[in-house]
A and B are shown apart, each in its own frame.
Chain A
Amino acid sequence: MTNLVVAAVPPRAQLRRLAPAMVSTIAMFAMVAVCASLQSDVLTVTGLTLILSATVPLVIAAQAQMMLMSVGDIDLGIGNFVGLVTVITATKLVSSPGTGMLFLVGLVAAYALLGALIHLRRVPSLIATLGASFVWLGLGLFVLPTPGGSTPTWLATFGSWAPAGFPAPLLPILVASALVWLLASRGSVGVRVRAFGSNPVALQRAGLSPLAARVVAYGVAGALGVLAGLLLASQTGGGDVSSASSYTLITVAAVILGGGSFRGGNAVPWGVAIGGVTLGLVSVVLSLLDVPSNMQSAVQGAIVLAVLAGRVVVGKVLR
């Protein structure tokens, strides 16, 4: 069935689907090229490890955002959720690993529950996830009022893991994107989720449960959020509930850059990975360039806008 659908898609539509990710890919390589021209060490394994490592949690969190955007929802709580996971990791997971794991599983369940709530009570996802974001923040502050704690040894070891042959941060990015791709773009679960995003009525007429589709999307997003939090904690060596608050909106930008849309129905895990890395690289480019200190935030915004504008232009041309 999936094959039939793919075969029926005319090349232009496929092109239209892939073009935004291509723009981001070009932007990403342009940034790496700019970095490498300023500092040739960027292209070594150590250099790539340094510039890519900070983008890892962002990319995973962006995959979580993509799951929700593929059903046409937007998650305004993902930043605080990732922050809450770092807090749980830095406290409970260290003192009693079993309880800590239970807490993390509970958080995934809470996300699935949130999906069910949104579906059954017909609450707009914007409102529900915004409300949830304050719950995550509150829980995080309750568990760890001031930033601190430490990470479990295995996680810290993974954070400082530096194999000789290839940049370590590529591994989690590739593995997570591949998993999401298998699940959302290849598997039957993904078909249901995307079908729900593009046409929920058709899904229901086909005898499938829209509720299940939404709950699955939220559950997967929760699991990815937990993974992002674990990876962030491995890099920061502690918990801070507000450490990832900027992720909320940056992940939305990453999904849009990667070819997703606000309407739902699209799952573009590889595009999102590229979009996330592109956004993460912006601050690296800025610190390699000698941009005057007061201008840096503005230039960062301008670069993001330029890439997004490129995506919109391409989208217009291909319409």
Chain B
Amino acid sequence: MRIHHTSRRWRAAAAASLVAAIAVAGSGCGSRSNDGGGSGSGDKPFIALSNGFIGNGWRQTMIAKFEAAATQAQSDGLLGKFKVVNAPGENSATEQVAQIKSLLLQKPDALLIDPASPTALKPVIQQACDAGIKVVVFDSAIDAPCAHVLLNSFKDWATAAAEPLVKGIGGKGTVIVSRGVVGSQPEEEMYKTTQEILAANPEVKVAATVNGMCDGAKAQKAVLGVLSSVPKVDGVIGCGDGYGVAQAFSTAGKPIPALTFETNGRALNYWNDSKLDNGSVAVMSDPGQSVAALWEAIDLLDGKDIPKQLTFPIVLVEQKDLGAWASALKPDEYAAWPWTQDLFRKQVEAVKTGGAPVQPPIPSAAN
């Protein structure tokens, strides 16, 4: 009796396990049909991109721009195959290390990395270089001697955020400083730059310093918290969180001061529609860096000589360009420079010779 019983249970268990296994295999295979990469051909390069975090609009734009440019390069015959892998979760370096390791198994010719951590990827990058893969790290500095690095200058970012604003309020008045992700390397550099600029303008007083985390919603809460205790604010120096800060000021019923907006369509259109003309700017790093990194990888695979460290221009939207940018962007799309192979090579020349950085054209709405 009991034997019969057990064997029935066993069969049921086996059936259930099979269902689970099929579910697992099926969920994988189902997605396989969405092969965006196309077929790889013999001598054309296979380029993979590993991205440490996909949870914000900037990263979404960065990936979208890369996929568009890579598809174009593929049909132009410059690229055999490409692949984009995003680490799930909250900017997890461990997940990204695991993903890069499995990418190594697929033997790409070049690997582009937007790292989740400036240090944790060092060993795996070394492993990739040892396997003969060209590695281009973008958007963040990394201490890996074998990798090429392409980034935006955070010093430029902080300067472009604070300087026009200080000038816009006439070099005197009261400001609030909204800091970014405190504890990260870029933020430290940016905060230092901001402090230098403020030290050079002694008539600008800092009424409060808050942690906005470069996030409109968080900055809105943080600024709202201090608004009642500060008298009159002429400007808020932040890192791409102006839209949220503007909401905080209108909630508190105070006039909107000079702000540093994010470079997405929503913030730029708000700025454009509200007719603010008080020294506000919109500045952020360029999500088009992924496209520039693609061109760098292609040129590196061609054996071209490119410096290990490339600094590319940030995206700064001033009052005069506001209309053009605002009409070209969807609400959640961030302003990105449209790097082409030609523009990329010009910028590399500019870096080599120390000349003025290339100023790519502002994309039109048709793009």
Contact = CB atoms under 8 A, between A and B. Distances in A.
A236 B97 contact: yes
B67 interface: yes
B228 interface: no
B65 to A, nearest CB: 12
Contacts of B185: 146
Interface string A273-314: 000000010011111111111111101111100110111011
A156 B127 CA distance: 13
A216 B83 CA distance: 48
Interface stretch (A203-211, A241-249, A261-269): A241-249
Contact of A235 (B12, B37, B123): B123
Interface string B133-144: 000000000000
A313 B13 CA distance: 8
B352 interface: no
A15 interface: yes
A30 B88 contact: no
Interface stretch (A45-53, A127-135, A180-188, A190-198): A45-53
Contact of A22 (B6, B13, B84, B121): B13
Contact of B89 (A238, A246, A294): A246
A36 to B, nearest CB: 11
A295 B31 contact: yes
A147 interface: yes
B117 A243 contact: yes
A39 B94 contact: no
B211 interface: no
A58 B97 CA distance: 13
B119 A149 contact: yes
A66 interface: no
B273 interface: no
A51 B102 contact: yes
A236 B93 contact: yes
B28 interface: yes
B13 A310 contact: no
Contacts of B35: 290
B23 A243 contact: no
A246 B20 contact: no
Contacts of A295: 31, 34
B21 interface: yes
A299 B23 CA distance: 12
Contacts of B102: 35, 50-51, 283-284, 287-288
Contacts of B16: 23, 310, 313-314, 317
Contacts of A238: 119-120, 122
B88 A283 contact: yes
A126 B18 CA distance: 35
Contacts of B5: 12
Interface string B74-108: 00000000011111111011110111011111100
A19 B20 CA distance: 13
B85 A53 contact: no
A243 B96 CA distance: 11
Contacts of B27: 299, 302-303, 306
Nearest to B37: A290
A296 B28 CA distance: 10
Contact of A306 (B23, B103, B120): B23
Contact of A293 (B29, B86, B123, B188): B86
Contacts, number: 206
A47 B105 contact: yes
A285 B103 CA distance: 10
B37 A27 contact: no
A310 B120 contact: no
Contact of A51 (B2, B67, B101, B122): B101
B85 A287 contact: yes
Given A296-B85, A297-B88, A318-B9, A26 B17 contact: yes
B306 interface: no
B275 interface: no
B54 interface: yes
B118 interface: yes
Given A23-B17, A292-B34, A314-B17, A236 B105 contact: no
A290 B120 contact: no
Contact of B20 (A235, A294, A307): A307
B31 A299 contact: yes
A253 to B, nearest CB: 13
A54 interface: yes
B9 A296 contact: no
Contact of B105 (A42, A247, A299): A42
Interface in B1-49: 2, 5-6, 9-10, 12-13, 16-21, 23-25, 27-29, 31-32, 34-37
Interface in B112-133: 117-124
B20 A300 contact: no
Given A27-B24, A243-B117, A313-B19, 12 more contacts: A22-B13, A27-B20, A54-B97, A147-B120, A245-B92, A280-B98, A284-B102, A287-B99, A290-B35, A293-B63, A309-B20, A317-B13
Interface of B: 2, 5-6, 9-10, 12-13, 16-21, 23-25, 27-29, 31-32, 34-37, 51, 54, 60, 63, 67, 83-90, 92-95, 97-99, 101-106, 117-124, 183-185, 188
Interface of A: 11-12, 15, 19, 22-23, 26-27, 30-31, 33-35, 39, 41-42, 47, 50-51, 53-55, 57-58, 141, 145-149, 156, 159-160, 232, 235-240, 243-247, 280, 283-297, 299-303, 306-307, 309-311, 313-314, 317-318
29 contacts: A12-B5, A15-B10, A30-B21, A34-B28, A50-B104, A50-B105, A54-B101, A58-B94, A146-B185, A147-B120, A148-B119, A236-B94, A238-B119, A238-B122, A240-B117, A243-B92, A246-B95, A280-B98, A283-B102, A286-B99, A293-B54, A293-B85, A294-B54, A294-B63, A299-B27, A302-B27, A306-B23, A310-B16, A314-B13
Which 5 pairs, one residue from A and one from B, show the smallest C-beta to C-beta distance? Answer: A310-B20, A54-B98, A236-B120, A238-B119, A297-B88
